[in-house]
Structure formats: structure tokens, C-alpha cells
Homo-oligomer: A and B are copies of this chain.
Amino acid sequence: MVTWNNLDTLAAFSKLIQLKDCVNIARAMTGENGAARVKKYSAPMAAGLHFNYAAKQVNDDVLAVLAELAKETQAIDKYKELLSGAVINTGEKRLVLHQLARGQQCDAVIADGVDKREFYVSQQKKIAAFAKKVHAGEITNEAGEPYTTVVQIGIGGSDLGPRAIYLALENWARVHDTLKMEAKFISNVDPDDAAAVLQSVDIAHTLFIVVSKSGTTLETLTNETFVKNAIKNAGLEVSKHMLAVTSETSPLAKGADYMAAFFMDDYIGGRYSSSSAVGGAVLSLAFGPEVFADILDGAAETDKLSLNENILENAALLDALIGVYERNVQNYQCTAVLPYSQALSRFPAHLQQLDMESNGKSVNRRGEPIHYATGPVIFGEPGTNGQHSFYQLLHQGTDITPLQFIGFKNSQIGMDVTIQGSTSQQKLCANVVAQIVAFACGKDDSDNNKKFEGGRPSSIIIGDQLTPAALGALLAHFENKVMFQGFIWNLNSFDQEGVQLGKILAKRVLAHETDGALKEYSDLLDI
């Protein structure tokens, strides 16, 4: 039986606080000592990736206390409870089963009278069969013609994860001749979002997937109607162009307008739902079900590695622990995610939701206020773009921001050019390497304006190429990191009560049931 305690009551945390500033990164990363750290401070990940944390503010002493913290918080035991179907989401009194959607690491989970692994697999099979028929031209539009485009209508977790994954693998799929359909996304209730996407597609050859677990998401239902109108106005049949991904109990599940409905359930939160039908339908249609299966396999391999009690061989847990050290001992408020891969252009936006919505909380699992910092602000853009943008502040600003780099040895498309003795891919990799060392070691200069303090911690995840399996591994790495941090901070990482108040007030505004500031603002915006 695990016990849940606040971070500031733990013996290991008291020890950790004593280790504040005990590592001078600039000194540690200089010379042969630095070389030795790069070799030593590396943990294996799934799909051939590695998590290198040499430039983090750790040494063997810090790591030893982090191992104690992992043990004292029973991080692995809690993970096993989660995998086995415990009610980890205490706020909503729900199981947390997104890992089960991609593999079974522990006992079978029976809930609502069914084996949940079988349920998730059955939905995957249903989606795969449907996608294959669409690709084979067996399922067609009114005119008997094949579909060429798929549009996901969803917001938050029904948008950010699937969109980031689609963009990450679109070029890879093109090269590997497995881009079956182009995918687009409508998310915002701003009517210009749906209108612009509709103008960019050929509706007659498009499948729209309405994605809402509850079937009550304002933006998604509104955009569904928006799209249905457009389908009708084009003289087409809605039921030849619409699919639903929802829970079996939602109003959408019974909709007569859908060609097919694929199911998720209440045990997979939006931001964790890329592994469920939410990601499965659009990605299987876009890339084929085999590619989606490869993503899940990379994620499942990560889930398995995340069970390792040895923090030095458990990259997700180690990453989580170092993050807690940075947040609660070093008092850093933000984390920048910096993938040196244009394909990962929207991956930071996905992680922003994953992390900030999971751990941006001020009460513990029992609803008691806590008195230590929790989830950081997450932001980021791909390198090398970011170097020409906000890196100035990261290098010379007045606050320190820990950095999470991601880099791959090879590009996806493989089209490249050699200039001044190096390819673009080599230049890309040279830049990420250079940045790690520049941030860590800095540079002295007699002109203060050209001086770099250094001491700015970073880690890097390195892979051969951004493949479906590597992407699945990345996805699960960060999901599991966030989960472990929630355990350590004693949070419920799986609800999001902070989004409710805005919804309630927006309804009041639309019903014109306002007074005070709310009414004045409404007038200013002509509502």
C-alpha cells in the first residue's frame, strides 16, 4: 500500500535542499571532467533514444538523494498502482489508463465489467479496419470516389497531441510512401479557424472526425455544426463525411450523422489521449494503422522502462526528479523545450498542455493547499529558429531557465546540401551541441556585454531519426515524467478544475446574465 505525502514533509527533500547550488555547471562541464560527464550521465530510452543529462545541475551526491526521494515517494509503486487500475485521479474518482491503450505492463484491468486492454485494442482494430477500407477505396463518398483528406475537429487534448504527431511524421510518411491522406485540424471557436480550413479542403473528398470525450465541448460542437452546414451547402450528405470519436456514454455516440464512431473512455484524459482513438482515428487514416501501431509500440517500450527502480536506468523518472530539484531547490520557474527538428514544431505546444494542465495545481491529492512550487511554465520553439529569437534571454537574461533539447542524427526527408564542408543536418546538430556547452560553460569577456555567465542547465534527448517509434517514445517519456512529478509533488495530475470557472462565466455572458465588470467588458466587445 502506498502512502501520499507532501514533498515538504519528506526526509529526502530536506536533504536535497542542503544540496542547493552544490554543482557549478560551468566548472563541471569544462575540460576532461566535462567529457567524462557526457559519457557517464546518459540513460537509455525506448526506440534507441538516449537521455543525456551531463549538463544538468547534478552530481553523484545529488543523484543519490534523488534516488532516495524516488524511494521515499514510492514513485514506482504508485506507477504500478496506476497501471493496475487504482483510482489515481482522486478528483474525478477515475482510473488512469492511457498507458494501457498501448500495452499491458501489469495486471489486467477490469472496469465497468470489461477488460480495458481488450476494449482499447478492439477500438484500434475497428479503426484499422475502417482506415484500410478507406485507403483501399472500399469506403467512398456519395460519388463512389475515394477520400483524400481527413480533418480532426477537436480542441485541447483532442487537437494538440494528434496535430503535433501528424506534423512530426508528415514528411517521414511522404518519404516512406505511407501518407495515405492529408490531415488538417479545426480547434478554435473563432469562426475564422473553421472557415479557413474549409476553404482549403475539397469537402467532397474529406472525412471530418468530431472528437469530444464528453460530447459536450462547446468549441467542438459549434465547429461540428459549422462543418455540417458547409457539407450540406455543398449538396453533400453529412453521414458520408463525418466520424465521431467519443465515449460510449456521450450524446455523440448515438449520432445518426456519423459513418462510424470510435470509442475512448473516462479513464484517459484529453492531454493523454493521443494513444487512444483520439489519436488513433486521424493518424491511422493519415498514415495507415501500421504507423499508428509503431507509435504505440515506442510508447509502450517507454512505459516498460519507466518501471525500473534504478533511477539511472529510468529516464522518465530521472528527468522528473531533476525537474523537481530545479523547481523546488533551485527555484527555477520555467522550462524551455527546444527540439532541433522542424518536424517537432508543435511538440512544445503539446508538452505545454501536458505539463501545465497536469501539474499547474496548488492543492494536493486530498484537496489541501500546498506550500511549494509545482508545475513550471513550459514554452519552446524548434532550433535553430529559437537561437535567432528568445535565446538571448536564456543566455544573458536575469533568470535561469532549464532547457530540454531534442536532436536527431539524421533528417527525415534526406534531401540535403553541402556548404563549406558540412551538410545542413550537420549544421543543425553542431548548433545544438554548441548551445548545450555555451549555456553550461559560458564565456568570460572584458566587455560585460559579451560575457556569458554559463551555469544554465540543459539535458538532451538524442536519437537516430524521428520515426514513428521514436515519436511514441518521446510522447510517453514526457507523459511519464509529468506523472512521476505529480507523484512527487503529491498532486492529482489527471483532473483540470482550473478550466471550469471560465466556462461558467462565458455561459453567463452569452445568456446576458451579467453585471459589474463582466457586463462592461461584454459591452466593449459588443456581445
At the interface, yes or no: A374 with Cβ under 8 Å from chain B?
yes
A527 engages B393 (CB within 8 Å)? no
Comparing A135-143, A247-255, A501-509, the segment that makes contact with chain B is A501-509
Q: Is A100 an interface residue (CB 8 A)?
A: no
**Is the C-beta of A519 less than 8 angstroms from some C-beta in chain B?**
yes
A123-131, A291-299, A315-323, A413-421: which lies at the interface: A413-421
Chain A to chain B: the 10 pairs with minimum beta-carbon distance, closest first = A360-B393, A156-B388, A34-B517, A434-B505, A38-B520, A360-B397, A379-B379, A353-B389, A395-B498, A191-B424
Whether a CB of chain B sits under 8 angstroms from the CB of A349 is yes
A521 touches B428 (CB 8 A): no
Question: Which of A159, A342, A393, A424 has its CB near the most chain B CB atoms (within 10 A)?
Answer: A393
Q: What CA separation (Å) do A419 and B227 show in the bound complex? A: 13
Q: Answer whether A425 and B334 are a contact pair too, CB < 8 Å, given A389-B160, A392-B499, A397-B374.
A: no
CA distance A372 to B170 in the complex (A): 45
Known: A196-B342, A362-B398, A377-B377. 19 other contacts (CB 8 A): A30-B516, A38-B520, A171-B196, A188-B428, A219-B384, A225-B419, A226-B424, A352-B390, A357-B391, A357-B392, A360-B392, A362-B397, A373-B399, A377-B399, A392-B496, A394-B498, A430-B506, A430-B509, A434-B518
Report yes or no: B357 in contact with A389, Cβ–Cβ below 8 A.
yes
Task: Judge whether B377 and A393 touch: CB under 8 Å.
Answer: yes
Is residue A368 within 8 Å, beta carbon to beta carbon, of the partner chain?
Answer: yes
Could you write out 13 A-B pairs with CB less than 8 Å apart?
A190-B340, A190-B343, A190-B411, A219-B384, A270-B388, A333-B377, A352-B381, A357-B391, A391-B499, A407-B525, A430-B509, A433-B525, A434-B509
**Which residues of chain B have C-beta atoms less than 8 A from A436's C-beta?**
517, 521
The complex places the Cα of A501 from the Cα of B440 at a distance, in Å, of: 12
Distance of A123 Cα from B428 Cα, bound (Å): 34
Contacts of A270 in B (CB 8 A): 388
Task: Please tell me if A422 contacts chain B, counting CB pairs below 8 Å.
Answer: yes
Chain A 474-527 residues near chain B, CB threshold 8 A: 492, 495-510, 515-522, 524-527
Can you list, as one digit per residue, whether each of A151-191 has a CB less than 8 Å from chain B (1) or not (0)? 00001110110000000001100100000000000011111
Select the stretch in A65-73, A277-285, A443-451 that faces chain B. A443-451
> A38 to B517, Cβ gap below 8 A?
yes
Closest partner residue, chain B, to A446 (CB atom): B367
Complex contact B496–A356 (CB within 8 A): no
A218 at the interface (CB under 8 A from B): yes
Question: Are A427's CB and B222's CB within 8 A?
Answer: yes
A229 at the interface (CB under 8 A from B): yes
Q: Tell whether A363 pairs with B190 under 8 Å between CB atoms, given A38-B517, A516-B32, A525-B429.
A: no
Q: Mark interface residues in A193-230 (1 if CB within 8 Å of B CB, else 0).
A: 11110110000000000000000001101110110010
- Count residues of A near B (Cβ-Cβ below 8 Å): 160
Q: A39-B520, A91-B449, A440-B517 are in contact. Are A422 and B390 (CB under 8 A)?
A: no
Q: Is the CB of A421 within 8 A of B195?
A: no
Residues of B within 8 A of A60 (CB): none
Count chain B CB atoms within 10 A of each CB in A219, A270, A360, A503 and give the residue with the most. A360
Report Cα–Cα, A20/B2, bound state, in Å: 43
Partner of A448, one of B39, B357, B363, B526: B363
Given the complex of chains A and B, what is the CA–CA distance between A160 and B196 in angstroms? Answer: 21
Contact of A501 (CB < 8 Å), options: B52, B395, B401: B395
Contacts of A39 in B (CB 8 A): 520
Tell me, in angstroms, the Cα distance from A48 to B212 when the chains sit together: 38
- CB atoms of B187 and A385 under 8 A apart: yes
**In the assembled complex, how far is the CB of residue A252 from the closest CB belonging to chain B, in whole angstroms?**
15
Interface residues of A in 15-70 (CB under 8 A from B): 29-32, 34-35, 37-39, 50, 52, 54-55
User: Taking the complex as formed, is A382 at the interface, i.e. its CB lies under 8 A from any CB of chain B?
Assistant: yes
Are A427 and B506 closer than 8 Å at their CB atoms? yes
Any B CB within 8 A of the CB of A387: yes
The residue among A219, A360, A392 with the most chain B CB atoms within 10 A of its own CB is A392
Which B residues touch A116, using CB under 8 A? none
**Complex formed: what's the CA distance from A235 to B124 in Å?**
47
A160 to chain B: closest residue by CB: B389
Contact B517 A192 (CB under 8 A): no
Does the CB pair A510–B430 fall under 8 Å? yes
How many Å from the CB of A290 to the closest CB on chain B? 22
Complex CA gap A369/B448 in Å reads: 7
